[in-house]
């Protein structure tokens, strides 16, 4: 873009209603108002040009892909940031159609070795493919900061571009596999860790999606790294509450159908309580290799008719499902934070998640959500039973959950914290 209009942070926060209204017993009740804390005050400064390098970004047929990157960018623009986005994929990945909404991205494919050794070497190939283009861009409109998402390949490429072009860079770590060691085996695992360490040590700031992620980064760094936690945000104007409960009750899960997401224990818990908890349904958004096994287990437990596999859905569909749902449940055992939990909380839904995960940094047990031990079917069954049978508790917990989001987990707050970090990185 050729320029951007600057808005102060209070003006951004004012995008939301100052008071959030939730229907209780058919009457509107003021439940919360966003707080403008000094923590997110943005010092004035010149417009910043930020180059974003990311391996995931919204697509025409999958706008949920990379939404954690794409959705904060318009908010950054409102705070005086000019965004240039380069979304990258190895050459052997299919060329997908870009999403027409939001900040457009330059789609680039680069050479990469297939297999385990492709990951630790991919940053070098990506750097080589981008260098001339980024040099021209920098000469035309100087880049103030490079923001890379994940260490490999984008963080490594950013480190090399930083050294070549003298541009500071920051890198975001989204999940718990901070060193990419879960994706490869043997010597490639050691290589990934070594390269990731170099990236983190040379970055002006390593942005961690939670304290849990930060612990992973520091534990594996073997040397001091400059880390900062910036939680992802959601748009509470999109993920909004409903004025009434669904009848019959709807339990919602959003996530890939893979074992770590906890669909099987949730299914078994639902099988254990379905006769005592009346009529309800379980809606599942997402797909994956576990679907056929879950369908079979549902038939064995006698609740197949209560389960709806909805497959992948657009962001607007997910927001609608959050709105009409009664309870959000995803007893996942491997989450860097889990944006879907925040989205459900923004929609004023009681959330069920697992202890020992990063979402524990957000949820207060029994106040704005529920935490259970992973694979504890008894605790999960009891929690579901209580929430299904006590509508007033659901409303109170949902209102507290939305208040939590409005007071620090919106896209406006995320963007404000990022702008502060960018300015500190170029100071």
Residues 215 and 274 in one domain: no
Exposure of 55 in the CB half-sphere (CA atoms within 13 A): 23
pLDDT for 42:
52
Q: Is residue 244 part of a domain?
A: no
Residues 264 and 196 in one domain: no
Cα–Cα distances in angstroms (integers) from residue 142 to residues 5, 44, 105, 126, in the given order: 18, 19, 18, 21
Tokens 């927001």 belong to: 319
The DSSP bridge partners found for residue 248 are none
- Give the domain range for residue 301: 249-406
Q: Is residue 238 part of a domain?
A: no
pLDDT in tens, 140-156: 999 999 999 999 999 99
Residues 105 and 13 in one domain: yes
pLDDT for 20:
46
Residues 82 and 219 in one domain: yes
CATH number at residue 355: 3.40.50.2000
Task: Tell me the average pLDDT across 148-171.
Answer: 98
The DSSP bridge partners found for residue 95 are none
Residues 65 and 208 in one domain: yes
Residues 212 and 314 in one domain: no
pTM recorded for the entire structure: 0.89
First to last CA, the chain: 24
CA-nearest of 220, 176, 183, 184 to 201 is 220
Residues 217 and 258 in one domain: no
pLDDT for 45:
65
Cα–Cα distances in angstroms (integers) from residue 328 to residues 82, 266, 421, in the given order: 36, 11, 33
Exposure of 31 in the CB half-sphere (CA atoms within 13 A): 24
CA-nearest of 128, 139, 71 to 99 is 71
3-state SS assignment for residue 153: helix
Q: Is residue 81 part of a domain?
A: yes
pLDDT in tens, 263-300: 999 999 999 999 999 899 999 999 999 999 999 999 99
Q: How many domains does the chain have?
A: 2
pLDDT for 32:
41
Tokens 């880390």 belong to: 227
In angstroms, the CA 98 to CA 96 distance is 6
CA-nearest of 378, 171, 146 to 272 is 378
The DSSP bridge partners found for residue 27 are 24
Residues 220 and 264 in one domain: no
pLDDT in tens, 116-136: 888 999 999 999 999 999 999
Inter-residue contact 185 to 116 (CB < 8 Å): yes
Percent of the chain with pLDDT over 70: 87
Q: Is residue 240 part of a domain?
A: no
Residues 371 and 265 in one domain: yes
DSSP symbols for 392-415: HHHHHHHHHHHHHHHTT-BHHHHH
Residues 156 and 98 in one domain: yes
pLDDT in tens, 37-90: 444 455 556 899 999 999 988 766 677 777 889 899 999 999 999 999 999 999
Residues 77 and 203 in one domain: yes
Residues 397 and 418 in one domain: no
Q: Is residue 112 part of a domain?
A: yes
pLDDT in tens, 180-235: 998 888 889 999 999 999 999 999 999 999 999 999 999 999 899 999 999 999 99
pLDDT for 103:
86
């Amino acid at each position: 873009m050729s320029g951007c209009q600057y808005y102060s942070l209070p003006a951004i926060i004012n995008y939301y209603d100052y008071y959030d209204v939730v229907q209780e017993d058919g009457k509107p009740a003021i439940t919360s108002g966003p707080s403008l804390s000094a923590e997110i005050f943005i010092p004035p400064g010149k417009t910043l040009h930020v180059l974003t390098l990311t391996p995931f970004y919204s697509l025409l047929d999958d706008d949920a892909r990379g939404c954690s990157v794409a959705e904060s960018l318009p908010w950054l623009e409102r705070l005086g940031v000019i965004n240039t986005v380069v979304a990258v994929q190895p050459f052997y990945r299919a060329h997908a159609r870009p999403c027409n909404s939001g900040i457009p991205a330059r789609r680039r494919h680069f050479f990469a070795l297939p297999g385990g050794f492709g990951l630790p070497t991919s940053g070098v190939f990506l750097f080589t493919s981008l260098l001339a283009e980024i040099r021209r861009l920098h000469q035309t409109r100087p880049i103030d900061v490079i923001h890379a998402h994940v260490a490999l390949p984008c963080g490594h490429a950013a480190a090399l571009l930083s050294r070549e072009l003298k541009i500071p860079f920051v890198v975001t770590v989204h999940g718990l596999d901070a060193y990419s060691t879960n994706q490869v085996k043997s010597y490639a695992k050691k290589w990934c860790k070594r390269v990731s360490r170099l990236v983190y040590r040379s970055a002006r700031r390593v942005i961690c999606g939670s304290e849990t992620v930060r612990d992973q980064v520091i534990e594996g760094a073997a040397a001091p790294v400059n880390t900062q936690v910036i939680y992802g945000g959601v748009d509470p104007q999109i993920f909004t509450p409903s004025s009434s409960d669904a009848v019959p009750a709807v339990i919602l899960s959003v996530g890939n159908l893979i074992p770590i997401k906890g669909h099987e224990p949730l299914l078994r818990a639902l099988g254990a309580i379905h006769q005592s908890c009346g009529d309800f349904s379980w809606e599942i958004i997402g797909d994956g290799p576990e679907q056929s096994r879950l369908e079979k287990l549902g038939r064995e437990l006698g609740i197949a008719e209560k389960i709806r596999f909805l497959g992948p859905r657009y962001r607007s569909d997910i927001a609608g499902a959050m709105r009409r749902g009664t309870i959000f449940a995803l007893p996942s055992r491997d989450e860097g934070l889990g944006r879907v939990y925040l989205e459900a909380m923004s929609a004023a839904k009681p959330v069920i998640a697992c202890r020992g995960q990063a979402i524990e940094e957000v949820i207060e047990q029994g106040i704005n959500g529920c935490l259970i031990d992973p694979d504890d079917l008894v605790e999960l069954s009891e929690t579901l039973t209580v929430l299904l049978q006590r509508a007033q508790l659901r409303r109170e917990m949902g209102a507290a959950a939305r208040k939590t989001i409005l007071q620090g987990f919106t896209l406006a707050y995320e963007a404000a914290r990022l702008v502060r970090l960018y300015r500190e990185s170029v100071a």
